């Protein structure tokens, strides 16, 4: 067993995903505390090798790139095979993945296979008595648990988006780069990637937006998201939603903010007709300023808001939009 930390970096199209930087940041810190190296693995189709090299500037000592057509579309079976071989070869003490649809899909299987511990959806990680320790919000964010791995061998954790700082970028930093061969037989993986259908956000992406306007069940129907679109246009904001609005079929899943949706950290989050359930606030909580518009003065959202208006959004939003437009134009 080495003292090394292995991270599973991710691509976002033809860039490194932001979570890769978050993983490098925390991975670097843990590797230094352990006195080991930071090893980063990036998997994917064409272009993966070139992108992987960028992980060195983010703090990786050694970068492994697995590039193959079979990794172009995600199937956990093929990805698991590659990661498994890397774990066997590198023998890391810690493996970090991001809590993404990929990270959370591979980590439990790897942990079980290797007799490792696994802490899911961590907001902080450290080393305690030589072991991996983590902070995990549980019960939808209503409680916080601090946990510690009981094993001296492999410990695995997934990190929550936006909870950990991005890595410092050090251009020209030196590190080792290695291509790794991929031999996955289509038959052995027992599944077949058919296609991915991406929903491109119109305008600003929710995760990157400086201002987010979000709507919930209180809007009363899909057509009323139009009120929020108008305000968002004026503020150059992205539009989000609560799960209640998504479950009602008013807006698509990629707009969902929360524990099982997206985590956002804009400068301003305007919650309209959203009660502020803990599971929603997991995603909206990192926002710097929260404004709530709700007819119920007792709604928990007001406990988290900086400014609030108690009242019907149908009256508030058009007036807010108009005044914002006036201010933005002046």
Ligand X SMILES: Cc1cc2nc3c(=O)[nH]c(=O)nc-3n(C[C@H](O)[C@H](O)[C@H](O)COP(=O)(O)OP(=O)(O)OC[C@H]3O[C@@H](n4cnc5c(N)ncnc54)[C@H](O)[C@@H]3O)c2cc1C
203-242 positions binding ligand X, by CB under 6 A: 216-218, 242
296 binds ligand X (CB under 6 A): yes
CB of 87 to another protein, least distance (A): 14
CB of 124 to ligand X, least distance (A): 21
239 binds another protein (CB under 8 A): no
140 binds ligand X (CB under 6 A): yes
Compute CA distances 301 → 142, 209, 262, whole Å. Answer: 14, 21, 18
What distance in Å separates the CA atoms of residue 186 and residue 167, rounded to the nearest whole number? 36
> Is the Cβ of residue 60 or residue 234 nearer to another protein in the bound state?
234
Contact segment (CB under 8 A) with another protein among 21-29, 37-45, 87-95, 135-143 equals 135-143
CB of 256 to another protein, least distance (A): 9
Compute CA distances 151 → 22, 33, 156, 186, whole Å. Answer: 25, 17, 11, 35
CB 218 within 8 A of CB 245: no
Strands 289-294 and 268-272: parallel
35's CB contacts (< 8 A; 6+ apart) are: 3
32 binds another protein (CB under 8 A): no
190 token code pair:
């027992």
108 binds another protein (CB under 8 A): yes
What distance in Å separates the CA atoms of residue 283 and residue 265, rounded to the nearest whole number? 8
Sheet of 5-8, strand order: 117-122, 155-159, 94-98, 5-8, 38-44, 62-67, 176-179
Choosing among another protein, ligand X, none, which partner's interface includes residue 295 (Cβ < 5 to 8 Å by kind)?
Answer: ligand X
- Considering only 274, 290, 291, 305, the residue that binds ligand X (CB under 6 A) is 274
> Is the Cβ of residue 85 or residue 310 nearer to another protein in the bound state?
310
Other CB atoms within 10 Å distance of the CB of residue 3: 16
C-alpha angle 250/245/239, rounded to 5°? 80
> Is the Cβ of residue 104 or residue 217 nearer to ligand X in the bound state?
217
CB of 218 to ligand X, least distance (A): 2
CB of 121 to another protein, least distance (A): 6
Choosing among ligand X, another protein, none, which partner's interface includes residue 177 (Cβ < 5 to 8 Å by kind)?
Answer: none
Compute CA distances 176 → 54, 64, 68, 179, 310, whole Å. Answer: 12, 9, 20, 10, 58
Residues 159-178 interacting with another protein (rule: CB under 8 A):
none
Choosing among ligand X, another protein, none, which partner's interface includes residue 286 (Cβ < 5 to 8 Å by kind)?
Answer: none
Of 45, 18, 7, 13, residue with least CA distance to 262: 18
283 binds another protein (CB under 8 A): no
Choosing among ligand X, another protein, none, which partner's interface includes residue 273 (Cβ < 5 to 8 Å by kind)?
Answer: ligand X
CB of 62 to another protein, least distance (A): 27
286 binds another protein (CB under 8 A): no
Residues that bind ligand X (CB under 6 A): 140, 216-218, 242-245, 256-261, 273-275, 277, 279-280, 283, 293-296, 299, 312-313
């Amino acid at each position: 067993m080495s003292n090394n930390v292995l991270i599973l970096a991710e691509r976002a199209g033809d860039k490194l995903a932001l979570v890769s930087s978050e993983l490098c940041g925390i991975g670097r810190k843990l590797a230094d505390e352990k006195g080991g190296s930071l090893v980063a693995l990036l998997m994917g189709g064409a272009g993966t090798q070139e992108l992987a090299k960028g992980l060195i500037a983010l703090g990786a000592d050694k970068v492994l790139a697995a590039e193959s057509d079979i990794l172009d579309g995600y199937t956990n079976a093929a990805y698991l095979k590659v990661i498994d071989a890397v774990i066997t070869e590198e023998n890391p003490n810690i493996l970090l993945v991001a809590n993404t649809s990929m990270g959370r899909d591979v980590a439990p299987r790897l942990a079980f296979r290797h007799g490792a511990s696994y802490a899911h959806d961590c907001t902080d990680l450290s080393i305690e008595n030589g072991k991996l320790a983590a902070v995990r919000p549980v019960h939808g964010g209503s409680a916080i648990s601090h946990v510690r791995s009981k094993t001296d061998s492999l410990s695995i954790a997934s990190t929550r988006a936006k909870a950990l700082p991005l890595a410092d970028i050090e251009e020209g930093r030196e590190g080792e780069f290695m291509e790794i061969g991929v031999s996955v037989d289509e038959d052995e993986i027992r599944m077949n990637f058919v296609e991915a259908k991406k929903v491109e956000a119109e305008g600003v992406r929710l995760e990157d937006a400086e201002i987010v306007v979000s709507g919930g069940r209180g809007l009363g129907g899909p057509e009323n998201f139009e009120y929020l679109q108008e305000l968002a246009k004026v503020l150059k904001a992205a539009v989000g939603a609560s799960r209640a609005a998504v479950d009602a079929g008013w807006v698509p899943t990629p707009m969902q903010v929360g524990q099982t949706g997206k985590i956002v950290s804009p400068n301003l989050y305007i919650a309209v007709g959203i009660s502020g359930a803990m599971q929603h606030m997991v995603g909206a909580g990192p926002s710097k300023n929260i404004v709530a518009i709700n007819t119920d003065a007792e709604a928990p959202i007001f406990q988290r808001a900086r400014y609030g208006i108690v009242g019907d959004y149908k009256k508030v939003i058009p007036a807010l939009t108009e005044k914002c437009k006036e201010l933005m134009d002046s």
